[in-house]
Structure 1
Amino acid sequence: MKLMQSMRVPALLLILVTALSACGDKNGEDKKATQVAAKVNKDEITVHQINYELGKLGNLPPAQAKQAANTVLKGLVEQQLLMQKAIDSKVDREPAVVQRLEAYRRQVLAEAYLERVTSTAAEPAAAEISAYYAKNPALFSDRRIYRLQELSVPVTAENVESVKAKLAESRDIGAFAEWLKSVNIQARAVQSVKPAEQLPLELLPRLHAAKEGQAIALATPNSLNIVFVTGYQSQPVTEEQAKPVISRYLVNAKKRELVEAELKKLREAGKIEYLGDYVEVGKIEAKPAAK
């Protein structure tokens, strides 16, 4: 059972693989024989299948690679047996199974196409990396490790302003917490130590500008989330140290832009019609385009 749990490809998906491989060319069977790792009844498990699964494990030391390959092969054999029995039992024709296979096929094809679209994202130039480094001192040249105390304060439309006013005049978090108790407001407190890169980017500039002991309030519909900066330690990162991280970030940003542009193009070129209970979805999507 552990072997089967270690296999991440849905077992029934191999139905598709088997069906496709059955349509292959009969030529070159001698070469193919060297690629067969096992035979399960009339089906073959190839070295390519093993290598595909091993690729998910990353770079393994040679000493571990052979054992891992053996484990993967055993899992594939079990998977093949189950798949064969599923087909014999007509499990592959059950509506729920057909739906799952179709969903997985959609996912695989969509992801494969996006990989092709984003493959054109170029590595950032040195000037781009330097510009991003200079633009974000809170992440790099003036990076800090923050000691934070967070309070989640439940509020209503009637008391939110009084809570904000008391927060503004409180000397420290202790005084504010005592006041909350005195008015029977039960706040949830969490202490944490976080480096700048683990904080939300939209919050970081405010935290970076805050002094020790200062609080930042973030309003949500039913609560006031308050972050107290109880202290921090300066721990800057040089541009040379930051280059790999910035490069990955900028490449990913370019990929996101490519994906958004491609989806926009496909939406504009395609005909999308929402029906039944989902008519309103189409109306909501049409609003930005009408501007």
Structure 2
Amino acid sequence: MQGFKKLVSKEASLQVVRNLVDQQLLVAKAETDKLDRDPMVVQALDAARQQILAEAYMSRKLGTPVEPTDAEINDYFNTHPELFAKRKIYRLQEISIKAPKDKQDAIRAQLTASKTLNDFGTWLKAEKYEVKAAQGVKPAEQLPQEMLPRLAAMPDGQAMMVNTPDGVLVIVLAGSQAQPVTLEQAKPAISRLLQQQARQKAAKAELDNLKATAKIEYVGEFVDAGKEPEVAKPAAAAKPADAAAPAQPAAAAAPAADAADADAISKGVSGLN
């Protein structure tokens, strides 16, 4: 077995050398053809250099990640029961509705008034809303953190509505199944997550400090670039909508857009099973 490992290691080393030789041949030919003077190539090289320097500075500034204490890990575990002690697997139906802001209250009111999801779908079709629908099963850690506490508290069959850039997303909890995770199982993921959050916080603080001491002027169409972007807040949950007849609206076909991108928690606790 030891001999096999050495053989594999030697072959891997040889492959690295071959790749370096191939790369150097291509670089030499590119320089002969004066590609290093091509404006597009120069721009790409400069962008890569700036990215490498920025990452190197931040990496040196932040240093080695500090391991969180057991108390910090326990506190995170206890304050997020929906991810751990009361973790669930959710069977969801999602209806993405393209609508202007001034129509969202009417959609919410109709969702509350509809006795079944079929009724709601019929109304959407009659009002000629552009609708996309999907259904699937997701564990707690794959759902946006800002939505999860409300979803965890919802009984099966209830619906909630979330604002999206193009309209609203209606999420119907068709069913759920408890699948808790113990503290011992969750410790490695929580530790990684807390380290990531600490580094993100430190990186933001460093950037804020650099911005405060630098003179930055945004002009023309980029005049608003210096302002912090507004974070869209989820809409209030709708009253229960009967999911006993979970037919999708007639206009639905393509998968619904996600309510929000998965955040650090989704990455941090995935694969706990």
TM superposition score normalised by structure 1: 0.70
Letter in 2 for 1:190: A
1:78-227 aligned within 5 A: 78-156=22-100, 159-220=103-164, 222-227=166-171
Structure 1 CA distance for aligned equivalents of residues 57 and 226 of structure 2? 28
Identity %: 44
Residues 101 and 167 in structure 2, CA contact (< 8 A), matched pair in contact too: no
Higher mean Cα deviation, 221-230 or 178-187?
178-187
Shift of 1:201: 0.4
More divergent stretch after superposition (151-160 vs 86-95): 151-160
1:242 paired to 2:193: no
Moved more, 200-209 or 215-224: 215-224
Structure 1: gaps of 5 or more residues: 1-60, 286-291
What does residue 280 of structure 1 align with? 223
CA 1:157–1:129: 2 relative to 1, 3 Å:
closer
Secondary structure of residue in 2 paired with 1:188: strand
The alpha carbon displacement at 1:261 in A equals: 1.2
Q: Is the 8 A contact 1:144 1:234 kept in 2?
A: yes
Give how far 1:99 is off: 1.9
Secondary structure in 1 aligned to 2:223? helix
Worse-matched range after superposition: 99-108 or 149-158: 149-158
Counterpart of 1:266 (choices 186, 194, 210) is: 210
Give the TM-score taking structure 2 as reference length: 0.74
What pairs up with 1:26-45 in 2 under 5 angstroms?
none
How far residue 85 of structure 1 moved from its aligned partner, in angstroms, is 1.8
Closer/same/farther in 2, CA of residues 120 and 194 from structure 1, 3 Å limit: same
SS at match of 1:225: strand
Contact 2:90 2:177 survives alignment (8 Å): yes
Deviation at 1:158, TM superposition (A): 6.1
DSSP 3-state at the match of 1:187: strand
Cα RMSD (Å) of the superposition?
A: 2.3
**Structure 2: how far apart are the matches of 1:207 and 1:177?**
22
Query: Which structure is higher in helix share?
Result: 1
Q: Who is 1:47 aligned against?
A: none
| Secondary structure at the counterpart of residue 147 of structure 1 | strand
Aligned partner letter, 2:113: E
> What is the aligned counterpart of 2:12 among 68, 80, 86?
68
Deviations 1:38-78 (A, max 9, x none): xxxxxxxxxxxxxxxxxxxxxxx655443333333222211
Q: What corresponds to 1:48 in structure 2?
A: none
Q: Deviations over 1:218-273 (max 9, x none)?
A: 12354221000000000000111110111011000110111011112212222333
Alignment coverage as a number of residue pairs: 224
Which ranges of structure 2 fall in alignment gaps of 5 or more residues?
A: 229-273
Question: 2: CA distance between counterparts of 1:154 and 1:196?
Answer: 26
Contact kept in structure 1, 2:93 and 2:174, CA below 8 Å: yes
Report the Cα distance in structure 2 between the residues aligned to 1:220 and 1:135, rounded to whole angstroms. 27
Are the structure 2 counterparts of residues 281 and 241 from structure 1 closer, same or farther at C-alpha, using a change threshold of 3 Å? same
